[in-house]
Copies of this chain bind each other. A is one copy, B any other.
């Protein structure tokens, strides 16, 4: 078994970011699998073109390559069925599909405009320029203006987490007593934010904060050991 994972990094190759790559990192750890990390930067499109993708994560498993974090999670579940399940049954897999979209839109999409201006400082000059130019075009204004007033606008983000927060009042994880892929979907976004920005998304008394702490400690503190800010 020789797995390789293309992961997004900036100037520090020991500091992978991207909410989607972290979903995959956590999923691999859940399955008890290790993968050789291949650091990848935004502007290295040709390095993964061979695997028919323009984005990471890309997982290479022998002769097989799989792009997209959701596709990778499904691949791991089907390829390694005897290892701990990521979904806890077919119903869980189906529902995780919706939680994945919720995570993309509400969590990643909700965080992005609050931390986007902190990201270029983590990147090599060529990547920083690519990032700023493409994202400023998307937002239609300088990144610094996008994040202005975030201490206030974070309230909307916190409110949007309410379905998750209420769930965590009656169970330890989105996956139940133990974390599963539903947790990694959301945690990946928090880990991405923690790696690139000092911004505090959660107040200390939020059940989501306590849940994040537990996932930072999961798998021998894998996520906590990765360089990041105190958030």
Contact = CB atoms under 8 A, between A and B. Distances in A.
Interface of A: 85, 87-99, 101-102, 104-106, 162-164, 166-167, 170-171, 173-176, 180, 182
Contact of A94 (B97, B101, B105, B182): B182
Given A88-B90, A90-B89, A102-B102, A95 B163 contact: no
Copies in the complex: 2
A96 B99 CA distance: 10
- Interface SS majority for chain A: helix
Contacts of A162: 101, 105
Given A90-B176, A99-B99, 13 more contacts: A88-B91, A89-B90, A91-B93, A91-B96, A94-B173, A94-B175, A95-B96, A95-B99, A95-B182, A98-B167, A98-B174, A104-B163, A105-B163
B97 A171 contact: yes
A173 to B, nearest CB: 7
Contacts of A175: 91, 94-95
Question: Quick one: which of A89, A95, A97, A166 has the most chain B CB within 10 A?
Answer: A95
A93 B92 CA distance: 7
A90 to B, nearest CB: 5
A97 to B, nearest CB: 5
A196 to B, nearest CB: 24
Contacts of A89: 87-92
Instruction: Name the 3 nearest CB pairs between A and B, nearest first.
Output: A89-B89, A88-B91, A91-B92
27 contacts: A85-B91, A87-B91, A88-B90, A88-B91, A89-B92, A90-B92, A91-B91, A91-B92, A91-B93, A91-B96, A91-B175, A91-B176, A92-B92, A93-B176, A94-B173, A94-B175, A95-B182, A97-B167, A97-B170, A98-B164, A98-B174, A98-B182, A99-B163, A101-B162, A101-B163, A102-B163, A106-B163
